[in-house]
Structure 1
């Protein structure tokens, strides 16, 4: 089991996100419990490349301070929605024999969705703790509706096991 924290970068981790406080608190709890139970915490950052807002080397590209990686924790950088495409993450996890991934981060309807589906297609058991992903309003749905759509309808029992935060924390203790 690993905890995968996706795109929680300074530029986009802010109060415009749906249930921001609950999200921050939940992700911090997951990271803390993972570290206490020797569950590897892995981070993924998104790089838009030249001309984009999230660009390697800028302050906004770095991981949000409250989720800051420890020195020994791995960081994979990506330039597409999926954490698995051409990052080395899939190979790293398979080499270690990992089968379960707890996914948390940003944004529900973009990189989390792509990573959940790709992780599933690569044979991983994906676990999504409640309120450990979030997003902003888009032109079609509010952030709340997007969160509900993916967590309660799209992923659950199809691509992932969507469980309470408490259940995810308990799983890390029992592994």
Structure 2
């Protein structure tokens, strides 16, 4: 039986956090990746709205500089070793290229918060809630969503803006995140919670 839960939605100044929307995960040319044009498009729509509203936008990437970083994680998933600083795989998908003032935070583990400056940056921006998107639903997205809650941010996950290599894992993790850690909703409903940009 599901626990009773409250929908918290977005605050007055949400931040958009794009988790690992990097070429290594958005291209099937990489052993870690899968082609996901629909997920990229959903992220593009969110970027467009957040930028028009001058709301905080932040990206993450995964990059390993030496063999000692995240040793156990990399021993378990050897394909992670392709994520080197000089590889194309660690760059944000060019369809979602960051703009000035939108940091790309490097990480070595699943959560975007673990041993990074993400929380400090969000506090500096005055962010009071998070829209978490990216890849993969059952991996780095879920880990980031759980830590987002643990850092006291209400978290919203637009279901079309996250993806996974395994459809069953995708659905199961959306269900579980919504049950405990975040509001999982449609992209249309997330956009509806954001104001429309002012037109001149």
Which of the five TM-score ranges fits, normalised by the shorter chain? Answer: 0.7 to 0.9
Q: Does 1:70 align with 2:99?
A: yes
Alignment of 1:21 with 2:44, yes or no, is: no
- The 3-state SS of whatever aligns with 2:157 is strand
1:101 maps to 2:130: yes
Structure 1 gap ranges (5+): 137-142
* TM-score, structure 1 as length reference: 0.88
Number of aligned residues: 167
Gaps of 5+ in 2: 1-13, 68-80
User: What is the SS of the residue equivalent to 1:127?
Assistant: strand
Match of 2:167 in 1: 144
Q: Tell me the distance in 1 between the aligned counterparts of 2:196 and 2:146.
A: 26
Match of 1:3 among 12, 16, 30: 16
Please say if residues 18 and 59 of structure 2, whose CA atoms lie closer than 8 Å, have aligned partners that are also in contact. Answer: yes
* Other-structure match for 1:30: 46
TM-score between both structures, scaled by the size of structure 2? 0.77
Counterpart for residue 12 of structure 1: 25
Deviation at 1:157, TM superposition (A): 3.8
Residue 94 of structure 1 and its aligned partner are, at CA, apart by 2.4
Alignment of 1:22-171 (within 5 A): 22-50=38-66, 52-136=81-165, 143-151=166-174, 153-171=175-193
Whose radius of gyration is greater, 1 or 2? Answer: 2
